Structure 1
Amino acid sequence: MAKELVHETKSKAFWSGRVTAWCGATAKAGEYSTTWFASVTCPGCKAARKARKAGKK
């Protein structure tokens, strides 16, 4: 069974519920689920996180 991609949320629209991940992926309300304690598995989100941390010195 393929491992499900877990994205890191960058923003969530208040009215529409649309979310945008750090890798640029988007999903409409009802097309995603949220968890508090999940490891990010999306390579794009991991790269964005690494770049953000490298920029903070």
Structure 2
Amino acid sequence: MGKDVMHELKSKSWWDGSAEMWCGLKFKAGKHAGYIFASVSCPACKAAKKAGKR
């Protein structure tokens, strides 16, 4: 069984509820969950946030 990748939320649209992660991945409304006590495991999200990109 594989481990789920946890992405870090960069922005969420108030208009349509979609969400964009730091790595550039986009989810439609209802297709993502915000976890307060989860650690980010996506290496691309970590790198992009550290570099302040996207």
TM above 0.5: yes
Gaps of 5+ in 1: 53-57
Rounded Cα–Cα distance in structure 1 between residues aligned with 2:9 and 2:33: 11
Number of residue equivalences:
52
Considering fraction of residues, name the structure with more helix.
1
Calculate the aligned-residue CA RMSD, in Å: 1.0
Q: Between the two proteins, what is the percent identity of the paired residues?
A: 52
- Structure-2 residue corresponding to 1:34: 34
Deviates more, 1:42-51 or 1:23-32: 42-51
- Which has more radius of gyration? 1
Normalised to the residue count of structure 2, the TM-score between the two structures is 0.86
Gaps of 5+ in 2: none
For residues 17-36 of structure 1, what are the alpha-carbon distances to aligned partners after superposition, in whole Å with 9 as ceiling and x for unaligned?
00000100000011111110
Normalised to the residue count of structure 1, the TM-score between the two structures is 0.82
Q: Which runs of 4+ in 1 moved over 6 A?
A: none
